[in-house]
Structure 1
Amino acid sequence: MKQFNTTLMAAMAMAIGLSGAPLAQATTPDNQLVIATSLAQVLSVDPQQGTEPKTQEILAGVYDRLVYSDDAANNTIKPQLAETWEIDNSGITFHLRQAAFASGNQVTARDVAFSLTRLLKLNQSASAYYKSAGYNAQNIDSLVKVIDEKTFRIELTDKVTAEDLLYRLAMGISSIVDSVEVERHVDHDDYGNAWLRTHVAGSGPYTLRRWVPNETVILETNNRFWGDAPAMKRVIMRHVPESQTARLMLERGDVDIANALTAPDVKSFVGNQAFRVEQVKIGGFYVLAMNAGRKPLDNPLVREAIAYGIDYEGITGTILGPYGRQRNVPVPEDWAGAIANPDWSFQPEKAKKLLAQAGYPDGFSLTLKTIAQPPRVDIATALQANLAQIGIRIEIKQGNGADIVSAHRARDFDLLLPQATAIMPNALGAMNDFVTNPDNRLAAKNAGNFVWRSAWDIPELNALRNQASSERDAGKRAELLTTLQEKFVAAKPAVLPMFESFFPIVLQKSLQGYHTNLWSLNRLEHVTKTK
């Protein structure tokens, strides 16, 4: 987690009632954590299905994974349910700790095998991260092995290194579920999905007490948790989509954390000694997805014109602020192996010439779909104004998480504003979403694949990504990744990274021990409050 403000200066003024008498600032209970957030994209809490960041925040508390990525230690892989492991030339063997699920069932190697097998056979979009590493529903049974009750082994494929596999095993989609409990709720061979969409079966420090979509999530301590008992006995996530409302709740002390504020509201807390403002670097991007399966977006010249028709600098300065910075290569600029940014900038005359070359001298009309939450709505409005200057007329259609995610997965859009996230804290992990599309056919139904959703057929990039993923030699892999980035830019991508995305949060200064994670898997068992 990166500290966003360094010097905290002024104290908060106490609220003054209409009568003129001072009112004490409200505070949340000492053993309760309250978070003002947006729950619009929380559609399922099945860990092998839900991939959205807010879903991951819930999964982090109720499930464990074999290992986790420690942001505070340069994303080093560390033990969670696995106490130790050994890596050899063909696979990884894990030795599990003594732990129990919230149900009381013991965590065993069978549960690990069941969870990873379930991920591939359930075949939801979450499985794409393992498919790109060579695992699938047909081969997973032969690649996982229960050696004994506390020993589990997974074999490497020819498309993944041990390091890359460990990072995948640290993702929320690799959460270990209680196989005994889940199998009790299987309905018509659904792998328990109907039940796990709204229930949990984990071994984490918390369990799900209540979830009301677009309203609230309540977590309560799991008394069977194998680690230290959390100081926060209850965690409440409140759906507060209006930034000003969340800001006022934070100022009054009604919530401890706000993580869905607009850039101006985040900035309003900078310099206030009662709060801490932090900027989380997630290795992700705000993306303009263009449907290359529709005219005129199938034309690379049109996509290039759009890239030159965006005022990245203006949007960064007036809208994004702490939410991001311009970056048109899908690797954060300060990560090892990142190439320089192309010259894409707001050049309307150049963009018009490209449109004319493509056969559209008078422009055309498109729709742009976005989830109705900051800062995406403001980005959409800015894009509408920018592209109007080159003759592209944009109609904005806002929707909730279910609407927009479904449209994206169904290829039902012209333009759409999704976010992409790195699957590993390295160049290959950052690029994965942008250069993976093994089968672009509609019949492939590969909605878990970010590029497939834009119908962008990229056999050369996909093959080069596979080559880099299987390369064990670090020097050769670095060369391949440089070439991959260069070819991505040259292809005039239909999945255009516009801004590297950051995740700003504002916390009460009294809150200690709140640590973020690359994939929003923010563990809460060590959170405390000081006086």
Structure 2
Amino acid sequence: MKSFWKPIRLALAVSLIVAHVPAAIAATPNDQLVIGTSLVQVLSLDPQQGVDAKTIEILTNTYDRLVYTDNQNGNVIAPQLAEKWDVTEDSITFHLREAKFASGNPVTAQDVVFSLVRLMKLDQASAANFKTAGYSAANIESMVSAPDDRTFRIQFPKTVTPDALLYRMSMGVASVVDSVEVQKHVNNGDYGNEWLRTNTAGSGPFTLRRWTPNDLVMLEANKDYWQGVPTLRRVIMRHVPESQAARLMLERGDIDIANALSASDIGYFQNKDGFVIDRVQTGGFYVLSMNAGRKELADPLVRKAIANSIDYAGIEKTIVGAYGRARNVPVPVDWAGAIKNPDWGFHPEEAKKMLAEAGYPNGFDLTLKVVSQAPRVDMATAIQANLAEVGIRVTIQQGNGADIVAAHRARDFDLLIPQTSAYMPTALGALDNFAYNPDNSAEAKNAGNFVWRSAWDIPEISKLRDEANAERDVARRQALVTEIQEKFIAASPAVLPMFERFEPIALSKRVIGYSGHPMGMTRVNKITKSDAQ
């Protein structure tokens, strides 16, 4: 009886959700962009703290960085607050344009210094990419300087190349904050974090008017923006986590964009009149993280058995769809320097033999934690069924973004499904999350490090990654990148890439000029909308 009623209750719940979506009175106004999305992981709007994709989308439109990656031009580094820059053997010097924050305060090089020092001193997970480049809370103040109001200089550590540093400077965590405004709100030495979690202090094309967690984000045009007044007066992000509800809202014009649809609902809009699909390649992955601190998962043979117990092709076809493609090497298959995929897949008999050899002929029990968000929940259910075939009994625990992310950072899990992005559009940029863990000790408390969270100790791979990250000779760097990938596969990774990650976005054709950014940094200040038909 229980198995009979459960799907009926689920179907009834979905029908009630759709039934209670408010009826559209009129199409969205031409001067407003309304986005239906999931805001479940938007936990803080502090640009030196928030790293979730939806948070980055908000911060991208409320803050500027010195440079940005131009997704309209091959993701090359382009000027933003910096008009130009000079690269020497030991530093990059940026020359700033005249710009103002939303407060009216001028943007100065001192604000850039404050922002990067703040990033490292807060010492949040968001500082991970700068840490892997060699910056730290201890050395950052000696590495950055402002010779004058329009000149900012940052020194190279020995572990980073100029292009890798420039790509880091384009990330959301390198957003320039209004130091004068933020310092008015410092509380007990928190660098203004408590205030910036729910307020903005940027120079971007929009300002934050309202944020209600798990409900609504409203941005208003910054009429004094240095690049010109945005074409849109307002941007609204509505929390619509139920895919069927979002699909219905987009179809009848209640929203202009839906970016948290299930694979099947994305397919619904494929080739449908009045709509387009923007499938954005992120360079990141959906990952099965295994806690190598657990006895069973510390064994590489067990991890290899798990890697050979998953029907990647079947899950891609039936669940992941437009969200990804099967790939177990942490470099997208069509990126320069990517190696061939290993022959991993759903091989239950081979996996059972591996488990028996490892001392687990009868399998064992694990818990799999996952954010309640498409497509990861269905992915978890499929993996649960796959692993049951080889005797690994999995219990799924769903949770909100705060709960699951906290568990991941605290190493409080057996299995967990996170997602990654590449900080730069190169093989080395994609690898960075997977190939570096300089100190695996619990005392390191390096929660910002993706591999550390899985307690996977990889000193040899980490050393190779350091060499590659500092190598300026392109051919030598590529040889190191190839070696890293090969050793990663040979080690039966505890951070198992399963699917190269795409962000499929369904848009009304009324929206003109939208182009999704691979790192989630999609700006909308130049978007226009046509009249409703």
Bin of the TM-score, shorter chain as denominator length: over 0.9
Distance in 1 (alpha carbons) for counterparts of 2:116 and 2:519? 18
| CA deviation map 1:339-383 (0-9, x unaligned) | 000010110000000000100000001000000010000000000
Alignment match, 2:251: 251
| CA deviation map 1:72-107 (0-9, x unaligned) | 211110000001111111111111111000011000
Distance in 2 (alpha carbons) for counterparts of 1:147 and 1:212? 41
Tell me by how many angstroms 1:116 deviates: 0.6
Tell me by how many angstroms 1:322 deviates: 0.4
Alignment match, 1:35: 35
Matching of residue 276 in structure 1 with residue 276 in structure 2? yes
| CA deviation map 1:131-173 (0-9, x unaligned) | 1001111111111110111111111111001100000000000
Q: Flag the 1:382–1:96 CA change in 2: closer, same or farther, 3 A.
A: same
Distance in 2 (alpha carbons) for counterparts of 1:107 and 1:100? 5
Tell me by how many angstroms 1:224 deviates: 2.2
Indicate if the aligned counterparts of 2:87 and 2:93 stay in contact, CA closer than 8 A: yes
Distance in 2 (alpha carbons) for counterparts of 1:90 and 1:271? 52
Residue type at the aligned position of 2:180: V
Alignment match, 2:9: none
Indicate if the aligned counterparts of 1:289 and 1:496 stay in contact, CA closer than 8 A: yes
Deviation >4 Å, runs of 4+: none
Alignment match, 1:191: 191
Residue type at the aligned position of 1:78: A
Indicate if the aligned counterparts of 1:269 and 1:275 stay in contact, CA closer than 8 A: yes
Residue type at the aligned position of 1:446: N
- 1:434 counterpart SS class: coil
| CA deviation map 1:251-287 (0-9, x unaligned) | 1100000000001100011111200111000101000
Distance in 2 (alpha carbons) for counterparts of 1:305 and 1:488? 16
Residue type at the aligned position of 1:131: K
Residue type at the aligned position of 2:229: A
Indicate if the aligned counterparts of 1:62 and 1:207 stay in contact, CA closer than 8 A: yes
Alignment match, 1:229: 229
Alignment match, 1:7: none
Residue type at the aligned position of 1:206: F
Aligned pairs for 1:399-438 (under 5 A) are 399-438=399-438
Distance in 2 (alpha carbons) for counterparts of 1:422 and 1:346? 27
Residue type at the aligned position of 1:302: V
Alignment match, 1:72: 72
Alignment match, 2:3: none
Indicate if the aligned counterparts of 1:291 and 1:454 stay in contact, CA closer than 8 A: yes
Distance in 1 (alpha carbons) for counterparts of 2:72 and 2:344? 34
Alignment match, 1:8: none
Aligned pairs for 1:122-201 (under 5 A) are 122-201=122-201
Structure 1 vs Structure 2 CA RMSD: 1.0
Aligned pairs for 1:499-510 (under 5 A) are 499-510=499-510
Indicate if the aligned counterparts of 1:26 and 1:252 stay in contact, CA closer than 8 A: no
- 1:354 counterpart SS class: helix
Distance in 2 (alpha carbons) for counterparts of 1:277 and 1:75? 20
| CA deviation map 1:450-499 (0-9, x unaligned) | 00100111111111100100111000000000000000000000000000
Alignment match, 2:391: 391
Alignment match, 1:522: 522
- 2:432 counterpart SS class: helix
Residue type at the aligned position of 1:26: A
Aligned pairs for 1:101-500 (under 5 A) are 101-500=101-500
Indicate if the aligned counterparts of 2:24 and 2:254 stay in contact, CA closer than 8 A: no
Residue type at the aligned position of 2:386: N
Alignment TM-score, normalising by the size of structure 2 = 0.95
Aligned pairs for 1:39-78 (under 5 A) are 39-78=39-78
| CA deviation map 1:502-529 (0-9, x unaligned) | 0000000011111221210111110101
Distance in 2 (alpha carbons) for counterparts of 1:212 and 1:25? 23
Residue type at the aligned position of 2:314: G
Distance in 2 (alpha carbons) for counterparts of 1:25 and 1:103? 36
| CA deviation map 1:13-44 (0-9, x unaligned) | xxxxxxxxxx9983100100000000000000
Distance in 1 (alpha carbons) for counterparts of 2:149 and 2:340? 50
Alignment match, 1:82: 82
Distance in 2 (alpha carbons) for counterparts of 1:104 and 1:24? 38
Indicate if the aligned counterparts of 1:25 and 1:252 stay in contact, CA closer than 8 A: no
- 1:271 counterpart SS class: coil
Residue type at the aligned position of 1:235: V
Alignment match, 2:8: none
Tell me by how many angstroms 1:330 deviates: 0.2
Of 203-212 and 514-523, deviating more is 514-523
Distance in 2 (alpha carbons) for counterparts of 1:366 and 1:519? 32
Distance in 1 (alpha carbons) for counterparts of 2:518 and 2:436? 20
Alignment match, 1:18: none
Tell me by how many angstroms 1:231 deviates: 1.3
Distance in 2 (alpha carbons) for counterparts of 1:46 and 1:139? 22
Distance in 1 (alpha carbons) for counterparts of 2:195 and 2:264? 40
For structure 1, the residue ranges without an aligned partner over 5 or more in a row are 1-22
Alignment match, 1:4: none
For structure 2, the residue ranges without an aligned partner over 5 or more in a row are 1-22
Alignment match, 1:96: 96
Distance in 1 (alpha carbons) for counterparts of 2:444 and 2:453? 11
- 1:521 counterpart SS class: coil
Distance in 2 (alpha carbons) for counterparts of 1:518 and 1:151? 29
**Fraction of identical pairs, as percent:** 62
Distance in 2 (alpha carbons) for counterparts of 1:24 and 1:317? 34
Indicate if the aligned counterparts of 2:299 and 2:358 stay in contact, CA closer than 8 A: yes
Indicate if the aligned counterparts of 2:278 and 2:515 stay in contact, CA closer than 8 A: no
Alignment TM-score, normalising by the size of structure 1 = 0.95
Distance in 2 (alpha carbons) for counterparts of 1:397 and 1:143? 43
| CA deviation map 1:318-345 (0-9, x unaligned) | 0011010000000000000000000101
Alignment match, 1:16: none
- 1:423 counterpart SS class: coil
Distance in 1 (alpha carbons) for counterparts of 2:24 and 2:331? 47
Tell me by how many angstroms 1:418 deviates: 0.2
Indicate if the aligned counterparts of 1:25 and 1:253 stay in contact, CA closer than 8 A: no
Aligned length: 509
